[in-house]
Amino acid sequence: MKTPNENLNRRAFLKVSALASGAFMIGVSYRSNAAQTQSGPDAATWSPNLYIRIEPSGSITIVSKNPEGGQGIKTAMPMVVAECLEVDWKDVTVEQANLDDRYGRQAAGGSRGTPDGWNDLRIAGTGAAYMLRTAAAETWGVSIDSCKAENGTIVHEKSKRTLSYGRLASLASKQSVPAVEKLTLKSRPSEFKLLGKRIPGVDNKKIFTGQLAYGCDTRLDGMVYAVFQKCPSFGGKVRSANVDQLKKAPGIVDAFIVEGTDNLKGLMPGVAIIAESWWEAQSARKQLQVDWDKVQSDSTADYTRQAEALTKQSGETLGENGNVDKAFDKAHKVIESQYYYPFVSHANMEPQNCTAYQHPSGKLELWAPSQNPKSGRSLIASTLRISEDTIHVNMTRLGGGFGRRLTPDFMVEAAYLATKVNRPVQLQWTREDDIQHDFYRPAAWHNLKAAIDKSGKLTAWENHFVTFGSGKRTVSGANLSNKHYPAGLTPNFRLRQSLIQAKVPTGPWRSPGHSAYCFAFQSFMDEIAFAGGRDPLDFRLDLLKQRHGSTDFDTERAVGTLKLAAKNANWGRSMGPNQGQGLAFHFDHGGYVAYVAEVTAQASGQFKVDHVFGTADSGPIINRSGADNQIEGSVIDALSTAFLEISFSDGAVEQSNFSNYNLLRINQAPSISVDYVQSDNPPTGLGEPPIAPATPAITNALFAASGKRVHALPLGKQGFYI
Amino acid sequence: MSKITLKINGKERPVDVSSDMPLLWALRDKLNMTGTKYSCGIGQCGACTVLLDGTPMRACITPAASVAGMNITTIEGLHPEGEHPVQKAWHKIDVPQCGYCQGGQILTAVSLLERNQNPSDADIDAAHSGNICRCGTYHRIRKAVKLAARYKRGGAK
């Protein structure tokens, strides 16, 4: 594992600017990045990403560069700056950056915001504090070592003199910039004053007063509203549509056919209706008649038939260690099970939308609730054949992301409409558009087979993974690595794969892959444990001690996380009739998470998740409240999604709204408690790691409570309800 | 189109709407009051919750013309600085993740606490079961409603 210091990027530089107002601004940059993004003789005179601004008045502004969609990054990352800058959190104002190449990566995905920001933001905060100390030392004629940064002031302890950051701002900006190597960065929980505390979200007050603007709340002078009808059957093109009739409807500004492209993740063909209010555009849409030219007719029924046929074949071997066939021949016991999970949708509470305006100057300005605005800008530039330099993206808060908003289809749609209308235009999808034009988490079948010896030890593991592909490659979100658990822990390991050709769009869904397959793996682990007469916890702990090659995670951290969950839940305690405990753990995106779920189940199939104990090792916790929120939310998300299914017929999605894609409600939600192993490892994000093991912890508890093993989702189709 | 007058957060607001335009779109597109959110459009999720004479209702399926003259409270009308007991409790517990549903959740809680000074988990669940939170803040909503109840009774600061 990397130590915190090895992880420090030695090519980082501090950059300082002074404003006419006397403000001190500090940022971080990298020469390599600058060389990539700039050209010409001045390439070495890089522009920094500016994170901190200290005004002579003492006001402190910290910039948050990534999109905020509920993962809490806009609170957590500025906390890192404030910790290292030694300022009181209540004196800090957080400002949302717009898309600006000086910031490097600006995305909410892969739980990368925290690990990526950790070094830059500590460097920025620590470097600024260093320069403020230098300025005070110069003022007082004392050594910098005798000047301490504390709570927004520099203190000279011997003489008890103090100077506020505001008063030092101007002088600090004139100091020579310290080399990053000279800075001592805080890295351990024992060194923190602010980090690890429960800090409420910086946007809370605006949310509670209705003042916060999500993407769909953008309001511009002269703005018009649009709806966009695409072919329900994915990829379909428009032969003709009654747009002339629609133009006569009340409030309609324009209606036209969009030829679009063949890119399912780009500008698809359809019909745009633009009106003075969204309701008028949507009302006119009810009269819309389109003759569609469908290009495919994929269906869930056909996928299932193909999966049954492929399951009987051997598939392609993606990796094998040891001799799996021999191990099965010699096994004391062989356990076989098939697991299945369906396609699911993201269902962000804020349906997809984007606002765009083509300025008379040629500048194309967007207001986008996007998890990856840079990819949106790139898609717009290539689709509309314009330069990226003419596109400006304002980053709004997102009403949920979960991976859906990594795909910028809604941005290119709005941008295209803006080029057709001389006014700012807001494209607002309906809930039906959103559910029927998502990039779905792919379904899959896992044909699992395990061998155990007389002591119940796992001697072989095989998975024939039947998933979705396009040609010989898996589609987005449908791959499985042969390096994942339990690879490296069992002497004989094989992953086989078969592909069903999919023409429906798929994509990343919160912890892509992991959030799906973990249900199968951790359920099957329980089956193996029981087949060998082992306790599910002991079986997992023993397995983590085995070494048969390398693992893609630190087994000690996994053991620590599992043990803490078991301890907090009093694992193995005697439960009432119809009650049971289930556990599961997983590693992904750098984080280790384990759960113990407690369930009460009735013979009718009705059950209740009474309580869930969650534990994580994701390094030092930055914002305890935000971290807990991700774990609590993941438990709810997992239970909710275990009841959901997206199915296809004639190439289109059969579900349409919350009436038939019904997310979990409060009366179905368990109580949850959260705890951490706070190691000295660098922090990882928590948007993704907590989701994967939550599902199998619940279904394993369901087995313990009811004796019924859940081999397929959604739970409703297995006779369970909540 | 016809001119109607809506009474929103204590103010008379004349607005020009078609007879079928839901209150949600009159608020959002005609009056630029965007605190009330669109999410499902069929009264299933509660993101568009407003209080109508103190009772939670779904603005996405209620024609604006049908509520002319009634007292409409939107999230903007609660306390402009967030000092209402429910807003304060929501901040203390740090309920939101994405926050999109929270305006509707807060107004639902306000109405519940008008009727019930000391709600149990079951009371809270019953009141909030029409309000979906995709991020999964249910656990905190229960805590926050109880804290707001204490604030209202003067038992906590």
Determine the residue among A75, A89, A90, A208 to mutate to test chain B binding: the one whose Cβ has the most chain B Cβ atoms within 10 Å: A208
Decide: A414 and A355 in contact? Cβ < 8 Å: yes
Question: Cβ A658–B42 below 8 Å, yes or no?
Answer: yes
Q: Is B119 helix (H, G, I), strand (E, B) or coil?
A: coil
Torsion of CA A354, A355, A358, A364, to 10 degrees: -50
Tokens standing for residue A662: 């019904």
Q: pLDDT tens digits, residue range A622-661?
A: 999 999 999 999 999 999 999 999 999 999 999 999 999 9
Determine the residue among A666, A667, A668, A686 to mutate to test chain B binding: the one whose Cβ has the most chain B Cβ atoms within 10 Å: A666
Strand A147-150 relative to strand A153-156, pairing: antiparallel
Q: pLDDT tens digits, residue range A667-692?
A: 999 999 999 998 889 999 999 999 99
Q: pLDDT tens digits, residue range A295-348?
A: 999 999 999 999 999 999 999 999 999 999 999 999 999 999 999 999 999 999
Q: Does A344 touch chain B (CB under 8 A)?
A: no
Q: Is A386 helix (H, G, I), strand (E, B) or coil?
A: coil
Question: Cβ A669–B136 below 8 Å, yes or no?
Answer: yes
- Chain A CB contacts of B126 under 8 Å are 667
- Chain B CB contacts of A428 under 8 Å are 38
Task: For residues A519-533, give the mean pLDDT.
Answer: 98
List Cα–Cα distances, A401 to A345, A438, A519, B95, in angstroms: 12, 12, 22, 17
- The whole-angstrom distance between B38's CA and the closest CA on chain A is 7
Question: Cβ A350–B100 below 8 Å, yes or no?
Answer: yes
Q: Does A665 touch chain B (CB under 8 A)?
A: yes
**pLDDT (0 to 100) of residue A43:** 34
Tokens standing for residue A679: 């190691």
Determine the residue among B32, B39, B74 to mutate to test chain A binding: the one whose Cβ has the most chain A Cβ atoms within 10 Å: B39
Question: Cβ A219–B34 below 8 Å, yes or no?
Answer: yes
- The whole-angstrom distance between B69's CA and the closest CA on chain A is 22
Torsion of CA A24, A29, A34, A40, to 10 degrees: 30
Stated as kind and residue range, the H or E segment containing A598 is strand A591-601
Q: pLDDT tens digits, residue range A563-608?
A: 999 999 999 999 999 999 999 999 999 999 999 999 999 999 999 9
pTM of the model: 0.96
Task: Please report where in the chains the tokens 């191990």 appear, as a residue.
Answer: A327
Please count the residue pairs, one from chain A and one from chain B, whose beta carbons lie less than 8 angstroms apart: 198
Tokens standing for residue A486: 């339990």
Domains and CATH numbers, chain B: 2-77 (3.10.20.30), 85-153 (1.10.150.120)
Q: Does A658 touch chain B (CB under 8 A)?
A: yes
Q: Is A4 helix (H, G, I), strand (E, B) or coil?
A: coil
**3-state helix, strand and coil shares in percent for chain A, rounded to the nearest 5:** 30, 25, 40
Q: Which CATH architecture has domain A12-197?
A: 2-Layer Sandwich (3.30)
**pLDDT (0 to 100) of residue B156:** 64
Residue-range domain boundaries for chain A: 12-197, 220-295+348-436, 300-343+440-718
CATH 1.10.10.10, domain A300-343+440-718, yes or no:
no
Inter-axis angle of helices A113-140 and A165-172, nearest 10: 90
Average pLDDT over chain A reads 94
- Give dist(CA A99, CA A367) in Å, integer: 10
∠ at Cα A26 (A62, A622), nearest 5°? Answer: 45
- The whole-angstrom distance between A214's CA and the closest CA on chain B is 8
pLDDT above 90: residue A145: yes
- Give dist(CA A26, CA A180) in Å, integer: 13
Instruction: Return residues 201-230 of A near B (CB < 8 Å).
Output: 201, 203-205, 207-214, 216-217, 219, 225
pLDDT above 90: residue A234: yes
Q: Grade residue A51 by pLDDT with cuts at 50, 70 and 90.
A: confident
- Give exposure, A392-431, as e/b (b: 16+ Cβ within 10 Å): bbbbbbbbbbbbbbbbbbbbbbbbbbbeebeebbbbbbbb
Helix and strand counts by DSSP (H, E) for chain A: 17, 29
**pLDDT (0 to 100) of residue B155:** 66
pLDDT above 80: residue A44: no
Query: Cβ–Cβ contacts within 10 Å for residue B51, how many?
Result: 22
- Chain B CB contacts of A664 under 8 Å are 136, 138
pLDDT above 50: residue A4: no
Task: For residues A137-155, give the mean pLDDT.
Answer: 97
Provide the 8-state DSSP code for A177: P
Task: For residues A439-462, give the mean pLDDT.
Answer: 98
Q: Under CATH, to which class is A220-295+348-436 assigned?
A: alpha beta
Taking CA–CA distances from B141, the nearest residue in chain A reads: A666
Amino acid at A245: Q
∠ at Cα A349 (A267, A711), nearest 5°? Answer: 95
Tokens standing for residue A116: 């990526």
- The whole-angstrom distance between A511's CA and the closest CA on chain B is 15
List Cα–Cα distances, A531 to A331, A528, A632, in angstroms: 12, 5, 32
**pLDDT (0 to 100) of residue B1:** 83
**pLDDT (0 to 100) of residue A35:** 39
Burial of A306 (0-12, 13-18, 19+ CB in 10 A): middle
Return the percentage of chain A with pLDDT > 70, whole number. 96
Q: Does A667 touch chain B (CB under 8 A)?
A: yes
Q: What is the DSSP string of A437-490?
A: T--BBPPEEEEEEEEE-TT--EEEEEEEEEEEEETTEEPTT----TTSTTTTTS
- Give dist(CA A615, CA A564) in Å, integer: 7
Instruction: Return residues 75-94 of B near A (CB < 8 Å).
Output: 75-76, 78-82, 87, 90-92, 94
- Chain B CB contacts of A673 under 8 Å are none
Provide the 8-state DSSP code for B70: S
Decide: A533 and A458 in contact? Cβ < 8 Å: no
Give the sheet arrangement for strand A671-676, strand by strand: A579-588, A591-601, A607-617, A671-676
pLDDT above 60: residue A41: no
